[in-house]
């Protein structure tokens, strides 16, 4: 049987579609444009939109707008937003660098058990960044963060313990227990 162009056309069309489908099976499909609420009232929406602005994902990169949204969510008690706002203040993102303001937000999140906020608060006390240098407070916060099992937090606490006397380590742990009983329960 001899194929001419006219009789082969349906087969070739099918073959082209099949080849295209195989070649593009790993390709991403075009992104659908999502409707983004630019003024969310709920904390989850504020946090989500803040990260989009902060990372420049699906929306134009804008640290100032990210900081505004983190502030809205942080003011409603969201520890993740409080932590993010502390980081932005510490790094001068979205507004001028301000270590005291960073510590304020880390403390808010740390009081809710946020491990990374406890860790950075501990480092702030160790270095005297935004607060007076206080090795016992540093150990307390690093110990609380380390108890949550993050290896970097455990390492920081253990390194600080090497610089302190055994009595100071015991006192720092006592303060952590006291905080946990009073604040986290």
Closest alpha carbon to 140 in 172, 108, 166: 172
3-state secondary structure of 154: helix
Contacting residues for 76 by C-beta, under 8 A, at least 6 apart: 43
Q: What is the pLDDT of residue 36?
A: 75
Domain residues for 144? 113-185
In the chain, the number of structural domains is 2
Give residue-wise pLDDT tens across range 37-92: 778 889 999 999 999 999 998 999 999 999 999 999 999 999 999 999 999 999 99
**Does residue 28 belong to any structural domain of this protein?**
no
**Does residue 27 belong to any structural domain of this protein?**
no
Looking at the structure, do residues 127 and 107 belong to the same domain, yes or no?
Answer: no
**Does residue 13 belong to any structural domain of this protein?**
no
Domain end, chosen from 56, 80, 112, is at: 112
3-state secondary structure of 137: helix
Give residue 25's pLDDT band: very low, low, confident or very high (50, 70, 90).
very low
pTM over 0.85: no
Looking at the structure, do residues 102 and 139 belong to the same domain, yes or no?
Answer: no
Q: What average pLDDT score do residues 157-171 get?
A: 97
**Does residue 33 belong to any structural domain of this protein?**
no
């Amino acid at each position: 049987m001899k194929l001419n162009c006219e009789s082969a056309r349906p087969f070739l069309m099918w073959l082209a579609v099949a080849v295209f489908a195989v070649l593009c099976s790993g390709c991403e499909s075009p992104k659908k444009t999502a409707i983004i609420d630019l003024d969310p009232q709920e904390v989850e929406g504020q946090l989500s939109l803040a990260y989009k602005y902060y990372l420049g994902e699906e929306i134009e990169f804008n640290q100032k707008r990210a900081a505004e949204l983190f502030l809205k969510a942080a003011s409603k008690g969201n520890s993740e937003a409080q932590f993010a706002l502390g980081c932005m203040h510490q790094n001068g993102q979205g507004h001028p660098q301000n270590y005291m303001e960073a510590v304020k937000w880390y403390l808010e999140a740390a009081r809710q058990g946020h491990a990374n906020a406890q860790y950075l608060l501990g480092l702030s006390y160790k270095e005297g960044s935004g607060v007076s240098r206080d090795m016992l407070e540093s150990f307390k916060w690093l110990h609380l963060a380390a108890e949550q099992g993050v290896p970097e937090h455990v390492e920081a606490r253990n390194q600080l313990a090497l610089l302190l006397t055994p009595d100071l380590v015991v006192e720092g742990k006592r303060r952590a227990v006291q905080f946990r009983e009073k604040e986290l329960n």
